[in-house]
Structures are given as structure tokens and as C-alpha cells.
């Protein structure tokens, strides 16, 4: 029992057992670190609804051809501190998303979800200089969309609408578009997604719905050929009622043109309780 060979074998076995125990102890830490790193990488260039809400911006990849920016209900109410109508807002930005980075060649459309309010979009070179105006949508009514504008040149561009609020006449709805070369923008990935987008998704947009009605509108969107890429729950500014920001994706290829995508939205939006 006390022979040198037995003692050496015992020591070797003990060492192996201790090594295995150490590996088993550290494995969850290493696994979690790797998982967290993957999550960060996935979301750093991703479409994540919580990030869109918090940062008011999104960065799209080369595989996205169309972006539909939502004008949310009560989007015309002032965001200026001290203005009379600031407590009438539902969400923290007049356009969702308010700031976007897109590859050159992306077509951008604005969809009017602001009940009983007409809107128009003026797009200009940065600085809101009317002499640099690139696009003027003219008025488009609630539950309709502007004509798309294709961003064929790189650079920074402002879009805006003034005279939208009779109580707060100085309030201007505004947003920014950054257009970059395709080589600078990798393919889009998603973070916090309920459905991973398929390869044919080339159109991205947003929708705001009451959280309690999320299952209904998720079903309506999916039945209309949309994928739910990400969702984020928040309390609206006006009454504190729970709302959900949905980021959806779909294809506009083949017979499912951008016009058909907008038509699907036009069937869903009037059923929202905001109207």
C-alpha cells in the first residue's frame, strides 16, 4: 500500500481530479464571458429596439434596401422643455428612428401614424438650408406614406417639418440621415430578436403598439409577411401606459413591392387604439 509506485499513482490521480474540478469551476465564467462577447458583437451593428428607443438612432447594413421611418401618434407634440404640449407625447422622438445611418442607395419612406394630422418631409443638406433642399414630400395624411427618396450620395442630411404645433409654434420636428459607402457598413445583424431575419429581408421599419395588444399586432404583422426582429417595452410620456416599440423586417422583392409593404401597414395602423 505504501510502495513508491502506489504513492506516485495516487498523486497523479489526485492531480487530475483537482485539475478537472478547477476546469468545472471556471467553465461557467468562461462560457458567460464568451456569450456576453457574442451578444455585444451581435448588437454593436444590430437592430435592437431598446437601442432605437434609448439612442433614437439605428445603423443599417448593406443588405437593407428600404427603411420606413414611423411618424408616431402625437409625434407633432413638442419636445422642447417648458413647452405646453410636452406632456402630450407618447414616445421620446418625433420620428422612429429619428437619426439613421444607411448605405448609399437606400430608399427612405416616412409613414404617418399620427392620428388626424397631415405631415410633410423636407430633406436638405445639413443645416436646414432651403437652398440645399433635396426632397419635399408635400402633405401626406394619416395612415399614408410619403413617396420614397433614394439616398444616392454620401454625407449628412437633415429632414424636418416646422409649423406642426399651434400651441408651441417654435417646435420643429427634425431628424438626421447619415449616408455612408457600402464598404463601410457590414450586413445588418439583430440583437434581442424574437425571430432571426431570413436572407431575403431587405426592408426595415418600426411600429408602436400598446403592450397589452402586442400579441394581436405581432400576429397581424406576421400574417402580412413581416418578421418581428426586436421589441422593447416602455411607459408612454403622457399617461405612463405600457407601450411596445416593434422593429419589423420584410422583403420588397418580387411581387411584394414597397407599395405592397406600405399597403399592409395601412391595414394595421387604423386598428390601433390611438385612433
Q: Is the pTM of this model over 0.85?
A: no
Q: Residue 85: what pLDDT?
A: 76
* Backbone region of residue 85 per phi and psi (left: phi > 0; alpha: psi in -120 to 50; beta: other values): alpha
Q: Which residues of 189-201 are buried (b: 16+ CB within 10 A; e: fewer)?
A: bbbbbebebeeeb
Q: Residue 235: what pLDDT?
A: 96
Q: Residue 125: what pLDDT?
A: 86
Q: Residue 167: what pLDDT?
A: 84
Q: Residue 238: what pLDDT?
A: 87
Q: Which residue has the higher pLDDT, 126 or 230?
A: 230
Q: What is the mean pLDDT of the chain?
A: 82
pLDDT tens sequence across 89-100? 899 999 999 999
**Fold observed for domain 47-271:** Immunoglobulin-like (2.60.40)
Q: Residue 24: what pLDDT?
A: 52
Helix (H), strand (E), coil (C) string for the chain: CCCHHHHHHHHHHHHHHHHHHHHHHHHHHHHHHHHHHHHHHHHHCEECHHHHHHHCEEECCCCCCEEEEEECCCCCCCCCCCCCCHHHCCCCCCCECCEEEEECCCEEEEEECCCCCCECCEEEECCCCHHHEEEECCCECCCCECCCEECCCCEEEEEEECCCCCCCCCCCEEEEEEEECHHHCCCCEECCCCCCCCCCCCEEEEEEEEHHHHHHHHHHHHHCCCEEEEEEEEECCCCCCEEEEEEEEECCCCCCCHHHHHHHHHHHHHHCCCC
| C-alpha to C-alpha distance for 222 and 248, rounded to whole angstroms | 9
pLDDT tens sequence across 51-63? 999 999 999 988 8
| C-alpha to C-alpha distance for 215 and 201, rounded to whole angstroms | 22
Q: Which residue has the higher pLDDT, 24 or 196?
A: 24
Query: pLDDT-based confidence at 3, cuts 50/70/90?
Result: low
C-alpha separations of 68 from 6, 62, 186, 195, 208 in Å: 75, 16, 20, 19, 13
Q: Residue 134: what pLDDT?
A: 87
pLDDT (mean) for 102-116: 96
Query: pLDDT-based confidence at 82, cuts 50/70/90?
Result: confident
Most confident of 43-52, 114-123, 179-188: 114-123
Q: What percent of the chain has pLDDT over 70?
A: 75
Q: Residue 8: what pLDDT?
A: 59
Q: Residue 59: what pLDDT?
A: 93
Q: Residue 15: what pLDDT?
A: 60
Task: Tell me the HSE value of 134 on the side-chain side, using a 13 A CA sphere.
Answer: 20
pLDDT tens sequence across 136-193? 999 999 999 999 999 999 999 999 999 898 888 888 999 999 999 986 656 554 443 3
| C-alpha to C-alpha distance for 32 and 191, rounded to whole angstroms | 17
pLDDT tens sequence across 199-220? 589 999 999 999 999 999 999 9
Report domain extents, the chain.
1-44, 47-271
Largest CA distance in the chain: 98
Q: Residue 184: what pLDDT?
A: 62
Query: pLDDT-based confidence at 20, cuts 50/70/90?
Result: low
* Whether residue 86 has pLDDT greater than 60: yes
| C-alpha to C-alpha distance for 275 and 270, rounded to whole angstroms | 6
Nearest partner of 147 among 176, 121, 167, 113, judged by Cα: 121
Angle between helices 258-268 and 214-223 (to 10 degrees): 150
Amino acid at each position: 500500500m505504501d510502495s513508491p509506485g502506489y504513492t506516485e499513482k495516487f498523486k497523479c490521480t489526485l492531480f487530475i481530479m483537482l485539475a478537472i474540478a478547477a476546469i468545472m469551476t471556471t467553465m461557467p465564467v468562461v462560457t458567460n464571458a464568451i456569450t456576453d462577447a457574442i451578444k455585444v458583437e451581435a448588437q454593436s451593428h444590430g437592430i435592437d429596439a431598446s437601442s432605437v428607443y434609448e439612442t433614437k438612432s439605428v445603423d443599417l447594413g448593406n443588405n437593407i434596401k428600404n427603411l420606413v421611418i414611423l411618424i408616431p401618434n402625437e409625434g407633432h407634440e413638442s419636445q422642447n422643455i417648458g413647452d405646453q404640449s410636452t406632456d402630450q407625447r407618447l414616445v421620446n422622438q418625433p420620428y422612429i428612428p429619428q437619426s439613421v445611418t444607411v448605405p448609399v442607395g437606400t430608399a427612405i419612406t416616412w409613414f404617418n401614424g399620427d392620428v388626424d394630422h397631415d405631415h410633410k418631409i423636407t430633406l436638405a443638406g445639413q443645416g436646414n438650408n432651403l437652398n440645399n433642399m433635396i426632397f419635399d414630400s408635400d402633405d401626406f395624411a394619416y395612415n399614408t406614406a410619403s413617396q420614397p427618396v433614394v439616398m444616392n450620395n454620401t454625407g449628412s442630411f437633415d429632414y424636418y417639418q416646422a409649423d406642426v404645433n399651434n400651441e408651441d409654434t417654435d417646435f420643429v420636428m427634425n431628424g438626421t440621415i447619415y449616408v455612408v459607402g457600402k464598404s463601410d457598413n457590414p450586413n445588418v445583424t439583430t440583437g434581442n430578436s424574437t425571430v432571426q431575419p431570413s436572407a431575403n429581408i431587405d426592408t426595415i421599419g418600426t411600429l408602436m403598439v400598446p403592450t397589452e395588444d402586442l400579441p394581436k399586432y405581432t400576429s397581424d404583422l406576421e400574417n402580412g409577411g413581416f418578421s418581428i426582429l426586436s421589441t422593447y417595452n416602455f411607459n408612454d410620456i403622457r399617461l405612463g401606459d405600457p407601450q411596445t416599440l416593434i422593429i419589423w423586417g420584410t422583403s420588397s422583392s418580387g411581387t411584394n413591392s414597397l407599395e405592397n409593404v406600405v399597403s399592409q401597414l395601412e391595414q394595421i395602423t387604423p386598428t390601433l387604439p390611438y385612433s
